[in-house]
Amino acid sequence: MNIWLYALVSVFIVSFVSFSGLVGLSFTRNFLQKITLLLVALAVGALLGDVFIHLLPEIFAEQGSTLASSLYIIVGILLFFLIEKIIRWRHSPSITQHSQGTHSHHVGPMNLIADGTHNFIDGVLIGVSYMVSLPIGIATTIAVILHEIPTEIGDFGVLLHAGYSTKKALWYNFLSALAAVLGTILALSIGPSIGSFTAAVLPITAGGFLYIAGSDLIPELHREINLKHTLLQFLAILVGIGVMVALLYLPA
Residue placing its CB nearer to Zn ion in the complex, 79 or 232: 79
9-28 binders of Zn ion (CB under 5 A): none
User: What is the size of the binding site for Zn ion (CB under 5 A)?
Assistant: 1
Tell me the closest approach of the beta carbon of residue 250 to Zn ion, in angstroms: 23
Tell me the closest approach of the beta carbon of residue 80 to Zn ion, in angstroms: 9
- Under the binding rule (CB under 5 A), the answer on residue 216 touching Zn ion is no
Residue placing its CB nearer to Zn ion in the complex, 167 or 218: 218
- Give the x/- contact pattern for Zn ion in 194-213, rule: CB under 5 A: --------------------
- d(Cα 177, Cα 18) in Å, to the nearest integer? 6
114-143 binders of Zn ion (CB under 5 A): 122
Residue placing its CB nearer to Zn ion in the complex, 122 or 155: 122
Within 10 A of 104 (CB to CB), how many other CB atoms are there?
13
Tell me the closest approach of the beta carbon of residue 144 to Zn ion, in angstroms: 6
| 3-state SS record for the chain | CHHHHHHHHHHHHHHHHHHHHHHHHCCCHHHHHHHHHHHHHHHHHHHHHHHHHHHHHHHHHHHCCCHHHHHHHHHHHHHHHHHHHHHHHHCCCCHHHHHHCCCCCCCCHHHHHHHHHHHHHHHHHHHHHHHHCHHHHHHHHHHHHHHHHHHHHHHHHHHHHCCCCHHHHHHHHHHHHHHHHHHHHHHHHHHHHCCCHHHHHHHHHHHHHHHHHHHHHHHHHCCCCCHHHHHHHHHHHHHHHHHHHHHHHCCC
Residue placing its CB nearer to Zn ion in the complex, 113 or 249: 113
Tell me the closest approach of the beta carbon of residue 26 to Zn ion, in angstroms: 24
25-84 binders of Zn ion (CB under 5 A): none
Tell me the closest approach of the beta carbon of residue 148 to Zn ion, in angstroms: 5
Residue placing its CB nearer to Zn ion in the complex, 58 or 122: 122
Residue placing its CB nearer to Zn ion in the complex, 92 or 140: 140
Tell me the closest approach of the beta carbon of residue 67 to Zn ion, in angstroms: 28
**Residue of minimal CB distance from Zn ion?**
122
Q: Which residues bind Zn ion (CB under 5 A)?
A: 122
